Every structure is written in structure tokens, then in C-alpha cells.
Structure 1
Amino acid sequence: MRIIPAFAAPLALTLSCAFVSGAFAQGSGTPVTAASPDGSIVVSVSVDTDGRPTYTLTRKGKLLVGASSLGFIVADGPTMVRGNRITGSETASGQQTWEQPWGERRFVNDNHNDLLVKFEQVPEWGSRRMNVRFRLFNDGFGLRYELPEQPTMKTMKIADELTEFALTQNGTAWWIPGGEWNRYEQVYQKSAIDGVSTAHTPITMKLEDGTHLAIHEAALVDYSAMWLKRVTGTTFRSTLSPSPNGPKVVRDLPFKTPWRTIRIADSAKGLVENDLELNLNEPNKLGDVSWFKPMKYIGIWWGMIRGDWSWAEGPKHGATTARTRQYIDFAAKNGFGGVLVEGWDKGWNGNWFGNGKEFSYTQATPDFDLEAVTKYAAKKGVQLIGHHETGGNIANYEAQLEDAMKLYDKLGVRAVKTGYVADAGGILAPGDTPDTYRMEYHDGQRQVQHHLKVVETAARYHIAINAHEPVKDTGLRRTYPNWIDREGARGMEYNAWGQFANGPDHEPTLVYTRMLSGPMDYTPGILSLEGANKVPLASTLAKQLGLYLALYSPIQMAADFIENLEAHPKELAFIKQVPADWAESHLIAGEVGDYAIFARKDRNSEDWYVGGVNDATARSLSLTLEFLDPSKTYTATIWKDGEGATYETDARHRIAYQTLTLKKGDVLPAWLAPGGGLAVRLHPAK
């Protein structure tokens, strides 16, 4: 086993390599196969009688993915689907253990086998070449296209990608629609697999035989995001996020596409405890990133979301110097590492939604002294968390990006929340001016390029990025560890705008869908359980604490007003204690969309934390504490739903407290209220 520190340069991991020479005739049907390290997953690749590349996938001897096509529609020539022959293949394998600088777990195991299959079209179809790499793990697989240099094609203009996933069983799917106006901020649907239309990924499925799947992608760089379109029955095909320029992707050769991935498991636990997408990304390119420290933070935000304050200047302006000092004082007193301030800069007074051309990222409003506030925070041992809203106008942002990051670096701001509030996207291409606004989908190639430009620029100034209204996470936090977080789902803010706007099953569904892609800035900690006009949340008080364990992020917000946090001292005590960085994480109880209980070990102490969230069905659990150190006895401090608690009435505020002495192997009983949750700290007894 090889352990690679997070800051190490990439190492060659190939343990074996073989080249299979010779050319198979078009349509010969001779398959090329490879298996996962434990032999449970087998891929078989061939061409059919029309020369179409296809693959199949079996697991434990059972066909899971039937014959599925591969290839492209190009905008300036024949399709790259028919007329192919296999000209050769290569196999390789790799095994290592690598260290994350921060994450759900400190060490990640990577054990895989590779199969590279080389295809070439016959002359009448253009003699174009493409390679397809399959990487097989014991708990899933990925495939990507690798387009080599070739005389018949210098630039590839992709009209669409035609990767198929022909599932052999029906079952249940949890998904959100792809390409809708509100980006990824949708309520998850639960339907039969053959009832899905076009979905964003990750999409999670439970097949009729109990097999759990999650289809997604990894290493999305300089390419349009993949949506998943059902073709017929239980067969799905990739379709790329559109571009108003025509081709969805334009790339000079050689290049590699993102990976198309399937996590495969016998249970929900196997989906969650799976690092497939991380392992398919390149190692850390930034080196030492110890300048970023996982933290909890508060912010001048919930007041604007509820309408109590405004982003715009005027009598209700939220981001004032005086209010920020007040929040800094609270953060310093209670051990919060940062204070987010939204609306500090000029540009919020007009119609900024989907516009953003007036935003300045270096000029503050008259009632906010940026330099004085950051100096005050530094004296108190607190960081200001910066904020850059673009309104989707990425040309305006890119024009100021270098100066904005340089300013934050000078002031000691080490994390920035970016925002892209717009119906679909932003500016098209380099050369557009900030006054030119042409719509593009938020996850098209141009936006993918933009997000990486922001992350790379920020890294040069030792600044971390928390992107809201982002391109979805595809594991790039491994390669760029300053990309600490994203929103990319329907977050807490919706609870401010309508009663039960996020239903009680929303967060238990996020655990098994959106959270499979990476950390989420969900902004928990609304201890008042009230949105605007006192609309209630579909949550108990204990659930607000359980969210810190169910929805991982290396920065966790206590999002309520500081007055409401102070009014709940016992709950605030848990939020102050719970870490934002973990050595281990295990799902110890849960089912997709129903409930999720985690056990997580603090990276910086011997403490364990147990907890999570529930849907609308009350349930009693018996949690076996097999993960504890057998040589230690633990004091368990418990925050749990009080008797009769339910999200549906004022009983949502009922919470109970308990202290127990526990050890490895003990069983902790837990009752979860409708819309409820649980939070437990296990501290080694002295």
C-alpha cells in the first residue's frame, strides 16, 4: 500500500500494462473484456454489425448494463458512431492510498483496473480515431473518451455525446429535471426508473433486485456538463448542456472528456461510502493548502433572505460596518472562524438578477468600511468571508477578478462565496463585454471554463472558493483543494419563502443524491425554525443539529440571526463543538429518501459524533456503536427529539437532552420524530 500526502506530486501508479495487437474486423463481435480487482464487475467491449462501439457491464455474474452505444455527433462531419473497428487495447492497474487535506475521511483508497480500447472508423466514415478508457473499481466504474492527435481531425466540434446506459432492470429513481430555469435548485422527484425524463446527475436508483446505482460524472473540465436523457424503457443516453454557439463542445485535439460514472452497491451505505469520483480526478495540483482551515461561520445573510434587511443600500441595508462588528464579536465569543457579509459592495441597487453589470468587487458601499472591518476581525481572531455575486455576468466578474482576489489577499480574506443568480447562465465567450448579455446554460462549456478560472486565480492568492448557483461538483476538489464547497441544490434559503418549502424528506434525499457529488453549503442552524412572516420549517430543533452530520461541508454555517442562536444556548453548544473536518465517516443507518444517521470521527481529537436526519415518518432505531475504540469509555452527550415532537406543529421545538456512558458494541436507542433528527457527541472519558 502506498500512502501519498495531499500535497505530493502525481505519481505513476501503473502496476502492469499489456498491449493487445492486431485489428478486429468491423462487426466481428470479438469482445475485449476487463474486470474489477475483486472480479465482481466485468466490462465487455465490442462493435456490432454496423460498426457501432458498444459495452456491457455485469456484476456478480448478472447483467447490469446491456449493450450500450458509445460515440459522438459532430457538427461538421459524419457521426462518430458507425463504421468503427477495434484496432487494439491496453490494460493496466493501479493501487494506492492517498490523503485528503480536508474531507469526510482523511485517507482514500484507490484500487482499480483499466481497459483502453482503440477504435478507428473505416475510410468511408472518415478514418477518425477515438479511444475509450474504462476504469473498474470494486464498487463501480467510469469511462471516458480520449481523442488522440490525428490527420483527419484537428478540432472537434461536438453537437452531442451518445454514451448509453442500458439498464437491465426497472426500479425506483430519485432525480431532478435537467435544464430547468432554476438550475439544480429543484425538489427531488421519486419515480419508477422508466418514468424519468431528462435528469441532472447524480441520479440515484434502486433496482428491483435491491442493487443501488448512482450515475454521475467526474473531472468536468473544459466540457459541457452531462444530463441524462431516458431514451426508452430503462435505457438512458448522455446529452450535453447546450451552447447558443451551436456545437456544445469545441476542443482542439488531443483531449480527454470527463468520466461517465456509475457507483454500484448492495445498499444505500455502499453508495455513500464510495470515493469513485474523487479517485477519477487528478491529484492535488496546488501543493500545500494549509492556509485554508475548515471552520464554522455565521453571517449577514439570513436577514436578507427573509427580507428583514436588504442587499441594496438604504435604511434596511444589511452589510453595515456596525452590524458586521456585532457579528464579529459574537463569532469571537463563540469560537466561529468566520463572518460572511453579503451586500458589502456596490452594484446591488438596481436590477442585478441575471444582469450584474453594475457590480464592483473592489468598491464598498458608503456605510461599509472593508479595511476597518477586516482589521477588526483579525484582532478578534476571526476571518471575514468575502462575497462576490455576479448575477450571471461572468464577463464583468472576469474583468475584475484579478484585482478582486488581490484585494482580498491584501486584507487577509481567505475564503470567498461566489454567486451566479440567473435563470440559466452568463456571458458566452472571452471578448464579450460586461454590457453584452447573451444567455448560456449555467453548466455549459463556457461556464465550466469560467468556474475553473476563478478557482485557479483564487488559488494564486491563497483564497478558497465556495460557489453558489454553481456548475455541479464532479470531484475536482481533489485536484483543486481550494474549491471547498458548492451549493448546487435547493438549500435552506427556500425555507424562508414558504411553509415547508423544503419538505421533511428533502434533506434525507439530498444525502443519497446531491451529496454523492461532494460537499454542500446547505446553511443549517435555523434554531428559531422560522422563515419570513413566521412560516415554519419542516424540521424539529434536533434536526437542525443533525444537519451538521448529515450534510458534509468543510465550512458549516450557523445561519440564524445571532439573537436566535443566543436564545438556544444548549443547541448553540453543540454547534460550537461539532467539527467541520473528519478523519472517518460512516453511514450507520439509513435508506434513500427516508433517513440517514452517520458516525463521524473528528480529525483533530478522539471524539466521535453520531447523528442525522429523518423524513416525515417517525421511527425507532437501534444504533450499534461498533466504530468506537475498544480501549476507551465515552461520555455521550445527546440532543434528541422530545416526546411528541413533530415538524407539523409547534411541537417542532420540543427537544430532549441526555448523558450516557457508552463503549464499543453498545446499542444506542434513538427515536426520530417526523421531520426530526439526532445529534450525539461521544467524548473519551478521563
Structure 2
Amino acid sequence: MNVFRLMPVLIAAMFLAAPAQAATVTSPDGRTAVTLDADGEGVAFYEVVRDGKPLIVKSALGFTFTDADPMRRGFKVVGTTTDKADTRWEQPWGERRFIADRHNELAVTFRQDGAARRTVTVRMRVFDDGIGFRYEFPQQAGLPTARIAEELTEFNLSQDGEAWSIPAGDWNRYEYIYSRTPISSLSTVHTPVTMRTAGGTYLSFHEAALVDYSSMWIKRVDGLRFRTLLAPSSRGAKVVRSGAFDTPWRTVLIADAPKGLFESNIELNLNEPNKLGDVSWFKPMKYIGVWWEMHLENSSWASGPKHGATTANTKAYIDFAAQHHFGGVLVEGWNKGWDGNWFGNGRDFSFTQAYPDFDLAAVSAYARRKGVQLIGHHETGGNTANYEAQLEPAMALYEKMGVHVVKGGNVADAGGIISCNADIADPCGKEVLEWHDGQRQVQHHMHVVEVAAKHHIAVNPHEPVKDTGLRRTYPNWVSREGARGAEYDAWGVPKNPPSHVPTLIFTRLLSGPMDYTPGVLSLEGRGGTPIPSTLARQLAYYIAIYSPIQMAADLPANLAKYPRELAFIEQVPADWAESLMLDASIGEYAVIARKDRKSAAWYIGGVTDDKPRAPSVALDFLDKGRSYTATIWRDGDGADGLGDQSAKHRIVIETRKLTSRDTLAIPMAAAGGYAVALVPAK
């Protein structure tokens, strides 16, 4: 035997038999490095280093199941692949028109010891401003159906600091005032949860592409070690998936300043491209609605003498919308089912039958003649079973009536969604209670979006599952609520504090657009109770809070009392070519600039907490060598958003000539703000 001839074969066999080595992937700018590996006990883990210093230390990966051994230990690395991207894509609408996707990728395949020899791939993408990773399960005999009891993904921080968060697992879904606490004091929180470490690094933890899976909460296990906690399910297993499947991406935004969090596009980039094709049937717009009067208790959703959604009342709103160039009129309470106890019940809702005093066909036709469209409304009362049974005819009816946007509602306690314990294909099995952001509700919302798209309808769900960037894949998912909105200024105890919006910008709004429903120019809630805001701040919301559908929430009679401010709301765009953070401190203040998609105009909005401020911001983003006419709506002398009504309504409107060489330092009163329109001079 020729031993020398066999040597290459033997060496090749040795390399084939040896386990692959884990690898490290760095961000394109080289500042962030992520390593994937398995330790001596076979526990798969990752760790993140930023500028050569540990940021997320050894953090375990894995799963437990309701009917199988855990995927926790006994892993070996059996394969690695790398990839990278440097592309740009266009949004049909959004905070910015073009999105850059620049990342490096490492995919590591782990195989578990044992007879089943189960495998899973962890795909890690590293951007200059953060990371995203997901688990990819192949179809395999050792795990034909995954009944996931819990995902064991950890986030083990290297430093304490402070965090901005809302509780998860409580009854009021996402509708809480954010708490500012030490990171080490967190318990179980929703995402996005935003942090600043003692070393000055800003982090925000969230997820992207939440499809057919349970929402991720984050629970502090001990010290600075956090772990995923999936939203519950009536089935016991929190997620049930068969065959090959991918989990949502787990995302960590990483920045040196709040600006970096605000301008990140990681969640969008981790979603699939547009699946709907041409969506030009949806136009970003501003709207008014038969809504605020119900929250003030001037009228009711229910039928009877106080019924708000009547033909006559809606036509009056349409007249006002046409006069002031609003694109739509929201009508809540038009359909049968609002009488009696519908909260968390919803069994009596019809989505095709109107109350006798509302003529849907006549009102729709009247709106069309006025150049306005109705914005439909579907409140389920948390009864997804009843809604899904009527979904197709309900959407078909709206399409016939020329309705291209629907606001949804799912008003129920978080664990009180009435659902069918079956797949969408079998829409009515046994009625059960589900959590508002468990796998069944994720399936439900996706089903609504897909059916709506078939009828050229955009959706804006309230009491939703959180945004995870799916608007890239399904651009008709234009906005949603998912936080404490302006209705709390009508009746909340307490109302939204001045710090609320400067916090939302770096927490909830990092995940996507929010239908906050701003524009309460009267600054009065139910019973005349004062809203913590100045008049100028209400205008700033149209720039600070992004949504491609923006409401002017106040009563038409109240809006008409402020013609100069109403003119700004008519003027300000709802769609943008670019969005920049000029200056900010989380929970304290923020100054944002956005460029109109249809012109060369820029808009700047500033909001502050309960402290007066005048941050100086550079205008170097403006075109060089061009002069702009700046119209400024600002808090007047003596303005005070926490004072009496006279002080709240003090506003100054002035004009200046500005260029890219100038700076602005506009004073904001306590609970105040300002808005600026910068139009190129002719």
C-alpha cells in the first residue's frame, strides 16, 4: 500500500470530521464585533464588543419545549457561512424615502448531541448602528413540530446604567407611562426598551419581522442578565411551528447618542421587501374624525339620543374636512354592536350593518363629491373570532364604498382576547382567551393586513401587536397605536406628562409610526380639565411624532377658533424624504427635522418636558447657498404648558430668513414646544 498516496485522503477526512470553528463578525465600520460559539457544556452563546470593550458579555441561546428535550446544552458548531450587503431601497411612504442597508453577516449552524441530532442556525447581521439575529430551524426528523415552551435568548449586559421602559404582562397592554429606572432595577418589560450604560452607550432592545410567533418580552433574571419571555398562549406551548421556520430577529440598536437610535433603520432592513407591489391607492394624509367628542362624553359610540356617528353629523365633519384640505374623516360607532357591554366581549358587533341613523352609502358618496374619503372603523372588542368570520365581507363593503383606510380596535384586557383555538384556515374552533400579543394574535393581525390589501385598504390597528417593521413587507400596514395616545389627555388620571412624548420618540416610536392623534388646540380634556401642553407644542407633534396618517383630533368648532394654527396643520406634510435628530436628551427634550417628500421644504419640531429649554441646533442640513423663509410657531412670552389656559395658549408666529450657516435656539416653555417651516426663498 502506498501510504504517501493515502495521506491527502486521510488529511481531508480529518478536516471533514473536525467540528467547524466559531467565528466573529464585525460591523462595516469595524467598531462592533460579535462572536458566536458553544462553550465546554455545549451551550450556544454570543457576545458583543464595542470599540474593543465588552458590551454584551457571554449570553446563552436556546429553547425549551413542552413535549421534547430542551435545546440548551450539547451543541457543537458544524458549519459557518458569511455574507455582506451594501444596498439601498425605496419606501413608498415613510420617515425617509431611501433606506441604506449595509451590514456584515455570520451564520453559524449548531448541532445538538443525542439521537435526534437536532440542528439550528443562528444568523447574525451586524450594522454600524446595531445587530440583529434570528434562529433558523430546518425541516428535520428530530423536530417535525416545534412546540416552544420558552425561548432562552439572553442579553447579559456588561454595565449598569438607566433604562426607559413599560411593564409587560399587565392588563393595559402597552398603554403605560414610561418609567426611568436603573437597568438593574428592571423586571419584565415590553420592547422597545431603551438604555444608556454608565459608559455612555445607548442601547434599544426590540425585535423585527414578528410573523407567526409570540411577541418577545424581556425579563431580568439576575443582576444585568436578561432573558426573553414569550407572550403566553392558551395552548400551553407559546409557539407551535411545523417544518422549517425562522424566528423573528432579535435586535439591539447601539449608538453613541440618542440621534443614532432615532436614525437607525435596522428593524426595517431585517424585514422582507414589499410583497404587495403597487400600493399607490394609499395616500399619506391628515384627517379629522367623529372621535374626540366621544372621549369628551359629548356624544356616544352607542345608539340613542347622544349617538355621534349619524349621517348629519358625519356630513358636517366632511364639510369641514373639505374646507380645510383634510384627506379623510374617521367615523367610529357607525355599525351595530356598540350598545351594552362590548368591552372585552364584542360578540354583537356587525361590520356590515349600520345603525338606522347612519347611511353608509350616502355618506360615502357625499364624501367623494367633496374630495374626501371616509376612514372606516372596525372595533372588535377583543373578539377576533367574531371579526374574522365577517372580515371578507366587511373589507369588500369598504372597498365598494371607496374606503381605503381602516382603523381597527381590540379593546380588551391583555389576557382577554376572545379567539378560536385553531389556524386561520379553520376560523372557528373552540372559543378561548388569548394574550393580546401571543402567536394567535400575531396570526390574526397578519390575516387582517392580507385581506385588507386584497381590497386595496390600509390598516391602522389600535390595541395592536407592537410594530416590528413589517410595514416594509406589507406597506398597507401604515400605522398603529401601541402606546398611551392623546385620548389619555381627555380622561386619563394622570394625563400624559410633558416627558411622555420626549420619551416615546426613543422607545415606542423607534419601532415605527404611531397614530397618536394630536392636534387638540383647545388644550382641554373631559369636563374642561387642562392638558399639559402649550398651543405650539400641539403643532410640534406633527413633526416629532411620525405617522403617514395624522389626525387633527379636536372638535371642528375648536379647531376653527385657531385659524393660524389650523393653517399649519393643513400645511405640514404627512410623508417625508428625510428625518434627522438635531438634538435630544431622552425623556427631556427632542428637536427633529424632516424634509417634505414633495418639495424642498424642511420642517423642524421641538418638544420639552416640564422644564423650559432653548437648545441650539445647527441648520447645516439645509442646501448650501440657498436662502429659506422660516415661519416659526413658538411659545410666547409667559407661556406655560402647566399653567392656566391663558398661559398655555400664548403663541408667537414670526418669520426669518435663514441659511445652512445659521443656528436656531428657540425657547420652549414648560410642557411646550415649537414648529418651524423652512421654505426655499424664491
**TM score, norm. by length of structure 1:** 0.95
CA distance in structure 1 between the aligned counterparts of 2:385 and 2:234, rounded to whole angstroms: 16
Of residues 409, 424, 430 in structure 1, which corresponds to 2:422? 430
What residue is the counterpart of 1:303 in the other structure?
A: 293
Which one-letter code corresponds to 2:676 in the other structure?
Answer: V
Of residues 481, 485, 489 in structure 1, which corresponds to 2:483? 489
Asked if the contact 2:421/2:429 (under 8 Å) is kept, the reply is no
Verify: 1:33 aligned to 2:27, yes or no.
no
Which has the larger displacement, 381-390 or 127-136?
Answer: 127-136
CA positional deviation for 1:631: 3.1
CA positional deviation for 1:660: 0.7
Which one-letter code corresponds to 1:78 in the other structure?
Answer: D
What residue is the counterpart of 1:624 in the other structure?
A: 618
CA positional deviation for 1:433: 7.8
Q: Superposition pairs for residues 466-545 of structure 1, below 5 Å?
A: 466-498=460-492, 500-545=494-539
CA positional deviation for 1:426: 3.0
* 1:254-289 deviation line (CA, Å, top 9, x unaligned): 000000000000000000000000000000000010
Which one-letter code corresponds to 1:522 in the other structure?
Answer: Y
Verify: 1:659 aligned to 2:658, yes or no.
no
What residue is the counterpart of 1:369 in the other structure?
A: 359
Verify: 1:680 aligned to 2:676, yes or no.
yes
Verify: 1:107 aligned to 2:98, yes or no.
yes
- Partner of 1:357, secondary structure, is coil
What residue is the counterpart of 2:457 in the other structure?
A: 463
* 1:307-362 deviation line (CA, Å, top 9, x unaligned): 11100000000000001000000000000000000000000012110000100000
CA distance in structure 2 between the aligned counterparts of 1:497 and 1:22, rounded to whole angstroms: 68
Of residues 72, 76, 79 in structure 1, which corresponds to 2:63? 72
What residue is the counterpart of 1:53 in the other structure?
A: 44
CA distance in structure 2 between the aligned counterparts of 1:82 and 1:207, rounded to whole angstroms: 31
CA distance in structure 1 between the aligned counterparts of 2:157 and 2:316, rounded to whole angstroms: 56
Which one-letter code corresponds to 1:64 in the other structure?
Answer: L
Q: Superposition pairs for residues 583-594 of structure 1, below 5 Å?
A: 583-594=577-588
Which one-letter code corresponds to 2:560 in the other structure?
Answer: E
CA positional deviation for 1:437: 4.7
Identical columns (%): 60
Of residues 638, 648, 657 in structure 2, which corresponds to 1:644? 638
CA distance in structure 2 between the aligned counterparts of 1:685 and 1:613, rounded to whole angstroms: 27
Q: How many residues align?
A: 663
What residue is the counterpart of 1:191 in the other structure?
A: 181
CA distance in structure 1 between the aligned counterparts of 2:18 and 2:203, rounded to whole angstroms: 33
Q: Superposition pairs for residues 104-183 of structure 1, below 5 Å?
A: 104-123=95-114, 126-183=116-173
- Partner of 2:487, secondary structure, is helix
What residue is the counterpart of 1:314 in the other structure?
A: 304
CA positional deviation for 1:31: 3.6
Q: Superposition pairs for residues 409-424 of structure 1, below 5 Å?
A: 409-424=399-414
Which has the larger displacement, 269-278 or 656-665?
Answer: 656-665
Gaps of 5+ in 1: 1-20
Which has the larger displacement, 593-602 or 429-438?
Answer: 429-438
Which has the larger displacement, 570-579 or 422-431?
Answer: 422-431
Verify: 1:395 aligned to 2:385, yes or no.
yes
What residue is the counterpart of 1:567 in the other structure?
A: 561
Which has the larger displacement, 208-217 or 621-630?
Answer: 621-630
CA positional deviation for 1:633: 1.1
Change (3 A) 1:433 1:349: farther
- Partner of 1:672, secondary structure, is coil
CA distance in structure 2 between the aligned counterparts of 1:148 and 1:613, rounded to whole angstroms: 48
CA positional deviation for 1:429: 2.4
What residue is the counterpart of 1:445 in the other structure?
A: 439
Verify: 1:336 aligned to 2:326, yes or no.
yes
Which one-letter code corresponds to 2:50 in the other structure?
Answer: R
- Partner of 2:665, secondary structure, is strand
CA positional deviation for 1:436: 6.4
Asked if the contact 2:464/2:481 (under 8 Å) is kept, the reply is yes
Change (3 A) 1:259 1:213: same
Which one-letter code corresponds to 1:82 in the other structure?
Answer: R
Q: Superposition pairs for residues 150-299 of structure 1, below 5 Å?
A: 150-299=140-289
Asked if the contact 2:592/2:604 (under 8 Å) is kept, the reply is yes
CA positional deviation for 1:656: 1.2
What residue is the counterpart of 1:43 in the other structure?
A: 34
Change (3 A) 1:23 1:164: farther
Of residues 369, 376, 389 in structure 2, which corresponds to 1:379? 369
CA positional deviation for 1:612: 2.4
| Aligned CA-pair RMSD | 1.5
* 1:6-51 deviation line (CA, Å, top 9, x unaligned): xxxxxxxxxxxxxxx85665xx9x5421111122111111111111
Which has the larger displacement, 642-651 or 428-437?
Answer: 428-437
Verify: 1:599 aligned to 2:593, yes or no.
yes
Change (3 A) 1:489 1:498: closer
Which has the larger displacement, 551-560 or 589-598?
Answer: 589-598
Asked if the contact 2:420/2:429 (under 8 Å) is kept, the reply is no
CA distance in structure 1 between the aligned counterparts of 2:290 and 2:341, rounded to whole angstroms: 21
CA distance in structure 2 between the aligned counterparts of 1:488 and 1:23, rounded to whole angstroms: 51
CA distance in structure 1 between the aligned counterparts of 2:569 and 2:156, rounded to whole angstroms: 45
- Partner of 2:478, secondary structure, is strand
What residue is the counterpart of 1:17 in the other structure?
A: none
CA distance in structure 2 between the aligned counterparts of 1:127 and 1:390, rounded to whole angstroms: 45
Which one-letter code corresponds to 1:514 in the other structure?
Answer: R
* 1:153-190 deviation line (CA, Å, top 9, x unaligned): 11000000000000100000000001110000011010
Asked if the contact 1:395/1:430 (under 8 Å) is kept, the reply is no
Change (3 A) 1:620 1:23: farther
After superposing on structure 2, the runs of 4+ consecutive aligned residues of structure 1 that deviate more than 6 Å are 431-436
Change (3 A) 1:466 1:319: same
What residue is the counterpart of 1:13 in the other structure?
A: none
CA distance in structure 1 between the aligned counterparts of 2:443 and 2:159, rounded to whole angstroms: 37
CA distance in structure 1 between the aligned counterparts of 2:240 and 2:507, rounded to whole angstroms: 30
CA distance in structure 2 between the aligned counterparts of 1:530 and 1:329, rounded to whole angstroms: 24
- Partner of 1:287, secondary structure, is coil
- Partner of 1:132, secondary structure, is strand
CA distance in structure 2 between the aligned counterparts of 1:558 and 1:606, rounded to whole angstroms: 24
- Partner of 1:418, secondary structure, is strand
CA distance in structure 2 between the aligned counterparts of 1:628 and 1:131, rounded to whole angstroms: 45
Of residues 342, 345, 359 in structure 2, which corresponds to 1:352? 342
What residue is the counterpart of 1:84 in the other structure?
A: 75
Which one-letter code corresponds to 2:433 in the other structure?
Answer: M
CA positional deviation for 1:438: 2.5
CA positional deviation for 1:649: 1.3
Gaps of 5+ in 2: 1-14
Which one-letter code corresponds to 2:421 in the other structure?
Answer: A
- Partner of 2:446, secondary structure, is helix
* 1:631-655 deviation line (CA, Å, top 9, x unaligned): 3211111100111211221111111
- Partner of 1:619, secondary structure, is coil
Which one-letter code corresponds to 1:621 in the other structure?
Answer: P
CA distance in structure 2 between the aligned counterparts of 1:109 and 1:671, rounded to whole angstroms: 35
CA distance in structure 1 between the aligned counterparts of 2:17 and 2:621, rounded to whole angstroms: 53
- Partner of 1:620, secondary structure, is coil
Verify: 1:614 aligned to 2:608, yes or no.
yes
